[in-house]
Structure 1
């Protein structure tokens, strides 16, 4: 049954049920707060936002790694109705300027820096008026809606509020005023705008409602049997749905403890799971690969691990097996979806047969319709036939912010979201994602799905990770190129890899080009950027 609650109501309900449970832990800072304390903190921050003059429906952009202030802002905005606009931590000047303009954000909450990039310098370049502005009264030529900047620190910067200054604004607002705002919110309201990665064209702002994210988080938590006794290690970034829906919101809905890492580092994840006795762990495949291949992996005590989620991109079968067998996360599940679907469409179940759990993305969630269509004709295809996956239901976004044309291109007149992903459904209703429509390689008239080749190469004992892309070819139209990361200390040649393939997969699926590498171009959320790999492949062959 679907819930009809706001994000703020979710936290209040959990506080009433489990006031003394640890709500969140930041082991790097030794900060621990109960649900009663977390609820109070977010009430005060919600009052501060109201005291600053932030109206219901106003857009607040937030730009930092997984700091405590990010977590508080998520649930405070959920209580007073401002729309949280999440900003990719990797953004630079032009990207941030575009987002602030396109989203009509009035407020920016930011960390001071991220991995050597000064966020303060960037916002000062975008908004030079900041240097001479009164706090809260910015008059920007480029950003006409933009009024205020808040930094997650106690350092002084011209025109920018320090975090502690929010206390004064909270003191100006009564509990009754907060309650009036809280009660005015509707679960159908947009509460979050997340910008897609923008691999083609400009990023689009996905508008998600309380109903979208609350119900998706509820189902995700149910599938991994998350309870008030669980401790979920969260190394995935908050700015993505994996962080702020499938991790933080799912935990709060179930009364679980959020054990938060500000940034991903494989050794720190393993140490945290051990020290905090985490029962669940989230991550994209590249994160789990890095953890499994950490030189000290065998020294960590991971016996507390039971469950978690691997998602964010296609999950290699061999990696799933190792997470279950070597890490001991015997109930780990795979999720599939995208930001436009809040994000999860399908998920494996903890009691699925092991073959289904490692080789598929499961079945559609309850209250979600799925169909697989021929992308050319639009007709549904038979079981076992590849086609584009489409989804419909409560989880579909309200649309792209200020972009009706893109919204109509993504969601058809019957309400179906066209994902752009190629999927196959078996006779039992389990779905396998075989790639993106644009990733499919057509070699001499043969359709090749890179994932099939990747899965085969993953079985090679010397290979840690592999990504396959198509590149232009005069004779066949396209050829395959494999980018291979070898395990530490391993040594294998291109010729040996091709010999390994012969007689085991079709000749036309054997990569013509093989390039060894130490890393892949990645998004901040840990997704491999295949479009960049294609660009690098072509540049490499031109040399």
Structure 2
């Protein structure tokens, strides 16, 4: 009787598991709060009216800060100056500035004036800026004076030599015909440009007052920002930028258009999940503001929840980030996995007393081992991973507070007001727990790629589903995890191998600092597994060491058959490691 009962129970369990495994991986996450139908300009005014005396931004490297009231006043003065310079609603304003107070002011002024901000990487060189200006039809450009020994004015003269012989606002350039006005952030006046400080006083008081009256003419559904996706250019050598053989993310970058409504709400729900409204938080933003991470999770989330953005430096310097966390008593840290790896290395030597509450980590996949190191070395209460893409205006999956209070890897759950599904190569929805391509449908999905209907239709269907290009596993409780990029899958002798699994294991080796796994060509197998590794100081590592470490823990076909040691990995300015460049380097090495 006992045996029979046990057998029946086993059969029922087997049937239940079989039924469960066939459930399609689709989740619709309803929100417990409605979406907000307001513009960025209206949000700024709302926050300033409630928290006017609270600091909106502290720029440590500039020794400067602005309260929310001061931010609104400066934004309206600059917005009035833009109008005075004949910039009209829908015109594109290029923002080519590193992390400075002026970035925040300009972004808010652009929104209050009804302009579309084109967020530009501050390390772009002249040919890249020329492409960006012409691609989006930038009419006015706000740029810094210098950054990382880069003279912005001299760069502009190489693509618009006419600038040196024209009056400010009167540029007529052969190479960049749309560009009329250049505004520089710097003390010295340069021929053909306006000075940022002086232009703030260009408009009279009535013109400034009119900006508030114009807000009802700007719709939440109007475009407000353009982001160059991935911000990847094909080579360290700029001469390859326009080579016809480069396509997709390693060729000319696409430009995603988003609206006030999308940015405001994406930032609100991200900040809500972070519980930013629970107290006055100070957010240490070591990530670049031009990136969707810096804009939405940083600037816009802070604006929604009246938090203070702290800018340690104009560019990434981990030691100064730690100084800012300590001296400004930052409660939240923003960074990529690479940035946190650097912070940990320095903090292990410094052991300064820092006590931020939350470490937000995004921009690239993160390993459980790194999460544990962040918690222990940086002394944070919660590690808060998130997954998002530019085309969705920010986060898609994010940790929940109750999951972030241990040293183990927190689980990421789908954001409010999102639909997600995982599909196979044929477009069919795969069962829960099965890897496939993640697709997203939500209020935050981009309008489309700027003036590129073909590329828009490749990723965004008429039914509203956006294909992310990421290999993903979705669970029935709404949690999920990235397995890797579709294009990053290694096919070795017919076996599909996901690099992330191997990376998460190898990084636990005591001598390994960071690791990137890529596929390299192999005559017989098609591809072999190559581990690109950075090692800890005074360490030594061989391929045999790697094989021994993996034996009995990874299937034989996943164990790297090739190893390359790097001093540093090639990265974007936002800290993302560029695997395609690693492949280029190894390809050249094999020639």
> TM-score when scaled to structure 2?
0.89
Q: What residue number does 2:383 align with?
A: 332
2:483 counterpart (417, 434, 441): 434
Q: Secondary structure at the match of 2:343?
A: helix
Q: What residue number does 2:23 align with?
A: none
Residue correspondence of structure 1 range 488-507 to structure 2 within 5 A:
488-507=537-556
Distance 1:46 1:316 in 2: 43
1:221 counterpart (240, 259, 271): 271
Measure how far apart 1:33 and its partner are.
2.1
Measure how far apart 1:172 and its partner are.
6.8
Q: Does 1:447 align with 2:480?
A: no
CA shift digits 1:443-489 (9 cap, x unpaired): 00000000000001011111111001011111100011111111223
2:45 counterpart (8, 12, 15): 12
Q: What residue number does 1:264 align with?
A: 316
Q: Structure 1 residues 417-426 or 221-230, which shifts more?
A: 221-230
Distance 1:503 1:11 in 2: 57
Q: Is the 8 A contact 1:349 1:357 kept in 2?
A: no
Measure how far apart 1:428 and its partner are.
2.7
Q: Is the 8 A contact 1:107 1:147 kept in 2?
A: yes
Q: Does 1:391 align with 2:424?
A: no
Gaps of 5+ in 2: 1-33, 233-248
Q: Does 1:190 align with 2:240?
A: no
Measure how far apart 1:339 and its partner are.
0.5
Runs of 4+ deviating beyond 3 Å: 295-298, 353-357
Measure how far apart 1:171 and its partner are.
2.1
Q: What residue number does 2:421 align with?
A: 371
Distance 2:497 2:433 in 1: 16
1:288 counterpart (307, 321, 340): 340
1:315 counterpart (356, 366, 370): 366
Gaps of 5+ in 1: none
Q: Is the 8 A contact 1:280 1:307 kept in 2?
A: yes
Measure how far apart 1:494 and its partner are.
2.3
Q: What residue number does 2:429 align with?
A: 380
Measure how far apart 1:353 and its partner are.
6.6
Q: What residue number does 1:457 align with?
A: 506
Please say which structure displays the higher CA radius of gyration.
2
Q: What residue number does 2:124 align with?
A: 91
Distance 2:190 2:416 in 1: 49
Describe the shift of the 1:34–1:353 C-alpha distance in structure 2 as closer, same or farther (beyond 3 A).
closer
Aligned length in residues: 539
Q: Secondary structure at the match of 1:191?
A: strand
Q: Is the 8 A contact 2:362 2:387 kept in 1?
A: yes
Residue correspondence of structure 1 range 293-308 to structure 2 within 5 A:
293-294=345-346, 297-303=349-355, 305-308=356-359
Distance 1:407 1:72 in 2: 31
CA shift digits 1:255-282 (9 cap, x unpaired): 1111113211111111110000000000
Describe the shift of the 1:437–1:33 C-alpha distance in structure 2 as closer, same or farther (beyond 3 A).
same
Q: Is the 8 A contact 2:543 2:561 kept in 1?
A: no
Measure how far apart 1:320 and its partner are.
1.0
Once superposed, what is the RMSD of the aligned Cα atoms?
A: 1.6
CA shift digits 1:106-147 (9 cap, x unpaired): 011111222122221111111111111111011111222211
Measure how far apart 1:323 and its partner are.
1.3
Q: What residue number does 1:208 align with?
A: 258
Q: What residue number does 1:149 align with?
A: 182
Q: Does 1:42 align with 2:93?
A: no
Measure how far apart 1:356 and its partner are.
11
Q: What residue number does 2:397 align with?
A: 346
Q: What residue number does 1:538 align with?
A: 587
Q: Is the 8 A contact 1:333 1:357 kept in 2?
A: no
> TM-score when scaled to structure 1?
0.96
Q: Which has the higher contact order (CA 8 A, sep 6+)?
A: 2
Distance 1:117 1:56 in 2: 31
Q: Secondary structure at the match of 2:102?
A: helix
Q: Is the 8 A contact 1:466 1:485 kept in 2?
A: yes
CA shift digits 1:215-247 (9 cap, x unpaired): 011011111111351111011101101111110
Q: Structure 1 residues 320-329 or 525-534, which shifts more?
A: 320-329
Distance 1:469 1:359 in 2: 26
Measure how far apart 1:62 and its partner are.
0.9
Q: Secondary structure at the match of 1:259?
A: strand
Distance 2:566 2:264 in 1: 40
2:557 counterpart (503, 508, 511): 508
Q: Is the 8 A contact 2:372 2:407 kept in 1?
A: no
Q: Is the 8 A contact 1:310 1:332 kept in 2?
A: yes
Q: Does 1:33 align with 2:66?
A: yes
